[in-house]
Amino acid sequence: MKLIEIIEKIHETSEDTYICVRRPWTRDAESTLVPFPDDLRIPHAVLAEGFEYFLEVSTAREILEGFLERRPSLEQITDFIIYYAENDAFPEWAYTP
């Protein structure tokens, strides 16, 4: 599944889920959803397939709260989340008119 496809359904996905993505992190990057295991670690099988922790679904939803008011496109939403995952900060372009 592509990252953009996961982002498109982010509000339908359980909050107790990790988003794991193969690098480079782009809209079309191969991605998977991983339900939280008991030990809250990404399973070795997922890591062995080349996926890395990207964000928790709950975090992705939380950071989108104010941004969605601007009615961004799916591509802008995905770029916003990628930027946040890489930088632990919001992109400056997200809030400029």
Report pLDDT digits (tens) over 25-59. Answer: 999 999 999 999 889 899 999 999 999 999 999 99
Q: Residue 97's pLDDT is what?
A: 66
Domain that holds residue 17: 3-95
- Residue 81 is predicted with a pLDDT of 97
- Is the model's pLDDT at 61 over the cut of 80? yes
Distances (CA, A) of 96 to 58, 66, 70: 25, 13, 10
Chain-wide mean pLDDT for the chain? 95
H/E element, 31: strand 31-35
Number of domains in the chain: 1
* pLDDT of the residue at 66: 86
55, amino acid identity: L
Name the DSSP letter for residue 72: -
* pLDDT at residue number 8: 97
Give me the sheet containing 17-21, strands edge to edge: 31-35, 17-21, 52-56
What tokens were used for 73? 């496109």
Q: What is the pLDDT of residue 37?
A: 87
